[in-house]
Structure 1
Amino acid sequence: MELRQLEYFVTVAEEANFTRAAEKVHVAQPGVSAQIRRLERELGQELLDRSGRTVRLTEAGAAVLPYARAALAAVDGARRTVEELTGLVRGHVAVGMVTSHNVDLPGLLAEFHDDHPGVEITLTEGNSDQLVAGLRDGSLDAALLALGAERLPELEILVVVEESITAAVSRGHELAERDSVPLTGLRDRPLISLPSGSGIRSHLDHACAAAGFRPRIAFEAGAPPMLAKLAARGLGVAILPDSIARSSPELHPLTITRPKLRGGLALAWRGTGPNSPAARALIERARRMFG
């Protein structure tokens, strides 16, 4: 008894037709028929009733079918197990991350490398829009990105950090006498922000649009610490993660109200799951570490 005989038998049973079954297994129809005949001779019973317009299972065929399916499933499981082990020995994982963050992604990658030294890891920096595009086209297996205002239903999201989005000004700025500012209070003021495509900028743009105005962006920089330095020089109002706005002694933080804005960092991967065993193992480790 050969596995291909069981495969052909199961396929004919499911298709109820030799021609369609042959097309599905990419074998000429006479070859499929011959192999099933050999299987029947070995078992001493006809498995298929060929007398009608459609092929039907005989009583013996109906009894054999579950065992044939189980045998094929067992072989497929053994093959996947070997592929998983091989992938964790000689695999590859492509990871993306936003330029500036306070998540211990290096620690995660170091631990994973210690356990799977044969897996090649590549790390790419970019803004959140670029990282989402990489996840969608398959060039990235996972990414640490900033959550924007848009929903990403095709991706799985594990929120790692969530905090308020805060305005910050220099100590000598006219707003430094206040503890908060409504969003409309930033209208026409020079703002210092991350570029389009970043999570915080997405929240700012959407909130301003809902309030009926466009933010006046005077300066852009790719990392929050640079925004803080520009604001400390009196060049405008920086839009920052709350932790950065309140950690700089040169800045005065202002809570944004009506509405309050919140952002965060998340690990994301395709909703259908990564393709490689190594990527699946890395994501599982990340879920344990960050979740």
Structure 2
Amino acid sequence: MELRQIKYFVKAAELLNFSDAARALNVAQSTLSQQVKQLEDELGIQLFERHAHAISLTEAGQELLPYARRTVYDADTCIARINDLSNLASGSLNIGVTYSFSPILTETLIEFTREYPNVRLNIFYKPMAELMEMLHSRSVDFVLAFRPSVRIEEIESHVLFDNHLAVIVRDGHPLACKERVGIADLSRYNLALPSKGLQARNAFDHYLSARSGQLDIRIELNEVNILLELIKHSNMVTVLAEATVYNQLGVKAIPLDLPSNEMEGCVHMLRNCYRKHSALRFIHMLRESNAVKARVHGWFT
């Protein structure tokens, strides 16, 4: 049994298509199929049911998959440890980021790439649920997102900064002069909100569920930059995590007058897993960045 065969088996089991698996591994389909068949012959049991245009795992394949994944992970971990010995002179770092974290990340990205030019950075911007799935599958080394409302046992969350929901308006908006904004204030304006499923929207909907009052939600979208452009050029109002508007010109963040509306900004990592030196270094740089220190010491405006 060869490691290559196990890697081919795992990729085919994940994609349930030999052609797609071969393409993802950058090998010929015939090579992948042959290696999987050799693995089946060595084990003396069929791992896949072959259909006309797809494949499916047999009971034996389903039993083998978690062990095969662990084997591939351990092999990759071994390689990562060896690469780390080169003092971050090579390797890659995969980071999952929710949209709200984008503004506070830029400074650290620039500093890290300047200090470690040979480390490849892969940044994935997605909703938190998708990022947590990527973390589970080890497609990313860590995730930057707010603390989830429900604790996930196999994931540990380290707080970077305390954050709050804020009402975001353009400079000069009638609400811009207020020290705090309540739900009654919001009811007088058209709202443009982040889509359901994004963390700020989930938190906002949670508070609204226990309160009466009708809000005029005109627009929902999952692209924060476009959302902020709408706010800058209209009298519309949105509700976002305050960190979202760090270094944004033309808008103002006003505390939302709701009890206990904290949203802790966190680094999320799998428990009991090897941490790349590059990941630990990046997180240290992020903690020391002006963006995070500004958040620790006060409101973004």
Classify the TM-score, shorter chain. 0.5 to 0.7
Correspondence for 1:101: 103
The one-letter code of the counterpart of 1:139 is S
1:205 correspondence with 2:208: no
**Following the alignment from structure 2 to structure 1, what is the Cα–Cα distance between the partners of residues 158 and 110?**
17
Q: Give the equivalent residue in structure 2 for 1:134.
A: 134
Structure 2 residue 278 is matched with structure 1 residue 282: yes
Residue 210 of structure 1 deviates from its aligned partner by 3.0
- Deviations 1:25-79, CA, capped at 9 Å, x for gaps: xxxxxxxxxxxxxxxxxxxxxxxxxxxxxxxxxxxxxxxxxxxxxxxxxxxxxx9
Identical amino acids, percent of aligned pairs: 18
**Does the 8 A contact of 1:246 with 1:252 survive in 2?**
no
Give the TM-score normalised by structure 2: 0.54
- Per-residue deviation at 1:243? 5.7
Report the counterpart of residue 269 of structure 2 in structure 1: 269
Aligned residues: 205
Partner of 1:162: 162
CA distance in 1, matches of 2:82, 2:127: 33
Tell me, what secondary structure is at the counterpart of 2:162? strand
Q: How big is the shift at 1:287?
A: 4.4
- How much does 1:225 deviate? 4.2
Corresponding position of 2:256: 256
Q: For 1:107-164, what per-residue CA distance to the aligned partner results, in whole angstroms no more than 9, with x for missing partners?
A: 46426744xx4x6543222122221221123222212224454434432222223333
Larger gyration radius, structure 1 or structure 2: 1
What SS is found at the alignment partner of 2:254?
A: strand
Decide whether the 8 Å contact of 2:191 with 2:217 is kept in 1.
Answer: yes
Cα distance between partner residues in 2 of 1:187 and 1:271: 43
1:8 aligned residue? none
Structure 1's unaligned 5+ residue stretches are 1-78
CA contact (8 A) 1:94 1:141 kept: yes
Between the aligned partners of 1:148 and 1:196, the Cα distance in structure 2 is: 15
1:190 maps to a residue whose letter is: N
How much has 1:167 moved relative to structure 2?
Answer: 0.8
Does the CA contact (< 8 Å) of 2:91 and 2:120 recur in 1?
Answer: yes
Between the aligned partners of 2:111 and 2:156, the Cα distance in structure 1 is 19
Distance 1:260 1:184 in 2: 18
- TM-score w.r.t. structure 1 length? 0.55
Q: Given the alignment of the two structures, is residue 86 of structure 1 paired with residue 82 of structure 2, yes or no?
A: yes
State the shift of 1:204 in Å.
0.9
Is the 1:190–1:236 Cα contact (8 Å) retained in structure 2? yes
Q: CA–CA distance in 2 between the matches of 1:207 and 1:110?
A: 40
After superposition, the C-alpha distances for 1:220-252 in whole angstroms (9 at most, x for unaligned) are 344544333212333521113436669666445
> 2: distance between equivalents of 1:242 and 1:160?
14
* Residues 184 and 211, structure 1, Cα contact 8 Å, conserved in 2: no
Pairing 1:233–2:229 present:
no
Cα contact 2:131–2:143 (8 A) shared by 1: yes
- d(CA) in 2 for partners of 1:235 and 1:286? 39
State whether residues 169 and 232 of structure 2, in contact with CA within 8 Å, keep that contact through their aligned partners in structure 1.
yes
Q: 1:273 to 1:158 in 2, by over 3 A?
A: same
2:42 matched to which residue of 1? none
- Asked if the contact 1:180/1:257 (under 8 Å) is kept, the reply is yes
- Provide the aligned C-alpha RMSD in A: 3.7
With over 3 angstroms needed to count, the CA separation of the structure-2 counterparts of 1:247 and 1:135, relative to structure 1, is closer
Q: Is the 8 A contact 1:159 1:264 kept in 2?
A: yes
Whole-angstrom CA distance in 2 between matches of 1:248 and 1:121: 24
Q: Give the Cα–Cα distance (whole angstroms) in 2 for the partners of residues 258 and 167 of structure 1.
A: 11
Question: Is 1:171–1:251's contact at 8 Å kept on the other side of the alignment?
Answer: yes
Counterpart for residue 110 of structure 1: 113
**Residue type of the partner of 2:128?**
S
Q: Secondary structure of the residue that 1:144 maps to in structure 2?
A: strand
Distance 1:107 1:250 in 2: 24
Aligned amino acid, residue 195 of structure 2 = P
Is the 1:145–1:265 contact (alpha carbons within 8 Å) kept by the matching residues of 2?
yes
In structure 2, do the counterparts of structure 1 residues 223 and 265 end up closer, same or farther at CA, with 3 Å as the change threshold? farther
* Structure 2 letter corresponding to 1:168: I
Unaligned residue ranges in structure 2 (runs of 5+): 1-74, 288-301
